[in-house]
Amino acid sequence: MSQTSELKAWIILTFLSLIWGTSFILIKKSLIAFTPVEVATLRVGISGLAFFPLFLFYCRRLEWHRWWFYFIIALTGSGIPAILYATAQTRLSSATSGILNSITPIFTLIIGILLFKNLTSLKQIIGSVLGFIGVAVLIVLDKPLDSGEKVPIFFAALIIIGTLMYGTNVNLIKEYFQHVKPVQLSSFAFVLLGLPVLCVIPFTNIPYKIANHPEGMTSLYALILLALVSTVLALIIFYKLVQDTSAVFAASVAYIIPIVALIWGVFDGEFVGWMHIVSMAIILVGVYLIRVGHVNKAT
């Protein structure tokens, strides 16, 4: 891989972490007026509507005989996780959600090995472990272990199941959709899932809450931003990253997200000590090893 392509991969990974690093706060704002199921419904529905013009443009090139496969991509990549994450964040903090979300690259690695017989390297394994350790330390620094706060097991399990969905999704794309343009893949998948969901919205309490809830419009704006930026734009870029690099490297964006949150905290006046810096360095080393492990394996 050329230096230009390598630099491009790192830029895309960083850009994605910035986008998805804001998704937790957008979900939090959305939950002010809407229930978790309503948040997921609107997010998927708005995404499907946004993808519809692209769907019309690519409809003649779509693999209609594999429509069910595209549907699975939409379910595992957004549909099911959208409900799981929104429900979990009614009881979990952003910090706890962040550390649980960082399991994604590890599940991606395991699923790739067990189900798709993907070759891996020791560097990728070490990098995945280091990335998770770095994120864990950041969260411990943010919320000491002796704080007495217990994480509700059921809601934590929802995040873990969501990361399992993400790990499956990334491997499916790498294995079966390497030849499909990311825009084409995203548009077909989300129109199949999003438009039927959008048709259900008028028959729910969502229109009433938008019109009558004190924070209805604010939550709706947060959801529109969540759908258009954190789903539509981000997934097109993410699918391209999966195709151009490796499933594990693309999934390692989950390690960078807590760093983004920490940096935002610095601008907001929060304390950052030397252990925070060490933890961020561990994460970056881990992601670097994941990337180098893939490059060495591919060459």
Residue 188, CB-side half-sphere exposure with 13 Å CA sphere? 23
DSSP string, 261-296: HHHHHHHTT----HHHHHHHHHHHHHHHHHHHHHHH
**pLDDT recorded at residue 107:** 86
Mean pLDDT calculated for residue range 157-162: 90
Spatial contact of 163 and 107, defined as CB atoms under 8 Å apart: yes
- Give the E-state strand segments of the chain in sequence order: none
**pLDDT recorded at residue 118:** 78
Is the pLDDT reported for residue 2 higher than 80? no
Instruction: Report in angstroms the alpha-carbon separations of 246 from 44, 127, 140, 294.
Output: 26, 14, 30, 7
Spatial contact of 190 and 47, defined as CB atoms under 8 Å apart: yes
Spatial contact of 248 and 109, defined as CB atoms under 8 Å apart: yes
Q: Ramachandran region of residue 273, left (φ > 0), alpha (ψ -120 to 50) or beta? A: beta
Of residues 103 and 170, which shows the higher confidence score? 170
188 vs 47: CA distance, rounded Å:
11
The tens digit of pLDDT for each residue in 31-55 reads 899 999 999 999 999 999 999 999 9
What letter represents residue 170's amino acid?
V
Is the pLDDT reported for residue 236 higher than 60? yes
CA-nearest of 98, 91, 81 to 162 is 81
Mean pLDDT calculated for residue range 105-115: 86
The tens digit of pLDDT for each residue in 128-137 reads 888 888 877 7
Distant-in-sequence contacts of 101-104, Cβ < 8 A, 24+ apart: 101/159, 101/162, 101/163, 101/254, 101/257, 102/131, 102/132, 102/135, 102/136, 102/254, 102/255, 102/257, 102/258, 103/132, 103/160, 103/163, 103/254, 104/163, 104/166, 104/167, 104/251, 104/254
Mean pLDDT calculated for residue range 229-243: 91
The tens digit of pLDDT for each residue in 64-106 reads 888 999 999 999 988 899 889 888 878 876 666 766 777 888 8
Is the pLDDT reported for residue 298 higher than 60? no
Q: Ramachandran region of residue 213, left (φ > 0), alpha (ψ -120 to 50) or beta? A: beta
116 vs 16: CA distance, rounded Å:
25
Angle between helix 94-101 and helix 153-176 axes, rounded to 10 deg: 40
